[in-house]
Structure 1
């Protein structure tokens, strides 16, 4: 039978529980526990699901839903868990596990999961721009610049999943959606076929859509490189405007195995050698000779695309990172949770800065990248960068995930409005009692968070000392200006210590602590960075 990713389901929801635990170990407890809901939390309490079908994925139909709190639109994919075969159940668990651990600007976001008696509902961001496939159909084919921009975004998503041991196995134009009609920002969807993959092992199950399927998949002996062949087919269609393999099923299978794609001279002549070379190097039958996602991102076709030259990583962003580093544990936990409730509009204001920090395009930011960028652009010393990095890496995975970065942007770069405060309070109040108890915190954060134990975190926010946190206390705590005396002192010590260590010309962190309190780091930078596009 098919190789299933989750373990076979036990008598109860052992299979799902296992999937949730594995996702938590990859991306952090807060990221998963705040989005994975069990009774008494119900889908109907938070969303109104319409009958309108948005599309159908491999594992079921996708419906339109509206958030009862914000009135924003979402997409919901529901699965029945009762009466499905063991293999099917394992597939659903696999999809849930993989999707829960996904966290990247070019991967559709899983906002909430509701598990109830015999049912599992996945709530995703709603991508209103339609499939890449539809846009190619409308335009017949893309200009090379547009094709390169699309290829770059698709590759960022693929390189991210591959560097986190996931193979998609169904890469095609239909599985990349635009976030809106006006936008050319693409995101990868549908992990129904995906699989957690250990390097140096081969997979046997044939899956995916025939026109896009790699020869190694047809031979039933393949690795993550199968996704790069499928990307090659996708870019082929975008550039040349026709399918590389067509005809009867048998003919397609033989042509794919032989790597014989149709070359229509009149269409190829209009496309540059560089673009042709890119496609040829992806449609190589031998997966070891085929470009990897990392190599494809270095290919001149992608590198030379007409990239927007404006820089998004500006002083205000670094300011936000630094102040997050000095925030209390409770505030950091709250901001980490809030980051999962941000709207696409809110995320879109800061996401390019994250992509600029991610120097090797792996989809997360490692310590060396963080130090390198902060030193080169903002003269932040290595030790300082280390302190900030450790604060951001709330999950101790030695890398900063996209949402950990977003958490630091909340309150300084992204406003903490009522809907956000209310939605996040609800993510902590798991038993819907109307207050956040110590047990709620334990369930959501684990025994400790960012080095503080749960009782200590509770004391930070429990202003009245009642032993739980009411909504009023929650708002008062988070709305008060960040920087109780303790935090100001930490920031001041950081800067004063830095002043004593170095006496070279003034750099960002070499400001008197009093000045820091008033102006923040942005005051220490002048010129281009301070006036960049995302600071307005």
Structure 2
């Protein structure tokens, strides 16, 4: 594995087939929660900003808060490549005696934020996090501070764009997308998201929640 020349270095898949690693590292079968499919489907209905916030938060949570999800991911990742394919997820659902939704591929595509065609560990965590975990005040505040770069208690368009696009030359999230993400959550219409608006977003179940500036029929 430490061989410098990649042409003669064993691939990750080959290494994972090693009897020693199989003995030491094969995860025990972990049953899926009964609401596994519901959580996957529910993530698709979240606002874009909430999806982004959960994905960012998933990278910050300590292991003790996500231990069961770590075990579930490892059990689902049958070939050990660090990602979950549609086939792996479908097979796991069937093995648990559950019925895979017809739109499973579309659901996973909505969770696949980076467009890789499969779910990586962080994307999986974001979709499966229990609301009881991320709605704890300190956890929600930690997620908010990821985007509130100057610490003034508001997430502006500029801050959101900087966090999402980083130093990339090519903007993954254009100005209009950023503006729309803010508008979905900005209830008082000041052009930014404060902590209370952020918490309201995190507690919501769907992206269709009306904005105060919108007419509600």
The 5 Å alignment of 1:99-498 reads: 169=2, 222-223=5-6, 226=9, 292-300=11-19, 303=22, 309-377=28-96, 378-381=98-101, 383-412=102-131, 414-446=133-165, 453-479=177-203, 481-483=204-206
More displaced 10-residue stretch of structure 1: 371-380 or 383-392:
371-380
Q: Tell me, yes or no, if the aligned pair for 2:27 and 2:75 is still in contact at 8 Å.
A: no
Per-residue CA deviations over 1:2-38 (Å, capped at 9, x if unaligned) read xxxxxxxxxxxxxxxxxxxxxxxxxxxxxxxxxxxxx
- CA, structure 1 residues 433+352, in 2 after alignment: closer, same or farther (shift >3 Å)? same
Give the deviation of 1:309 after TM superposition.
4.8
Give the deviation of 1:423 after TM superposition.
1.2
- CA, structure 1 residues 225+355, in 2 after alignment: closer, same or farther (shift >3 Å)? farther
Q: Within 1, Cα distance between the matches of 2:157 and 2:181?
A: 9
Q: Tell me, yes or no, if the aligned pair for 1:312 and 1:352 is still in contact at 8 Å.
A: no
Q: Within 2, Cα distance between the matches of 1:415 and 1:432?
A: 20
Q: Within 2, Cα distance between the matches of 1:380 and 1:297?
A: 28
TM-score (norm 1): 0.34
Q: Tell me, yes or no, if the aligned pair for 2:45 and 2:207 is still in contact at 8 Å.
A: no
Q: Within 1, Cα distance between the matches of 2:7 and 2:186?
A: 49
Instruction: Give every structure 1 segment of 4 or more consecutive aligned residues whose post-TM-superposition deviation is greater than 4 Å.
Output: 299-310, 484-487
Per-residue CA deviations over 1:327-372 (Å, capped at 9, x if unaligned) read 1212111111111221111121211111122121101112332333
Higher relative contact order (CA 8 A, sep 6+): 2
Q: Number of residues paired by the alignment?
A: 202
Q: Within 1, Cα distance between the matches of 2:20 and 2:162?
A: 48
Q: Within 2, Cα distance between the matches of 1:454 and 1:419?
A: 26
Runs of 5+ in structure 1 lacking a partner? 1-166, 170-216, 229-291, 488-536
Per-residue CA deviations over 1:180-214 (Å, capped at 9, x if unaligned) read xxxxxxxxxxxxxxxxxxxxxxxxxxxxxxxxxxx
- Give the SS at the match of 2:103: helix
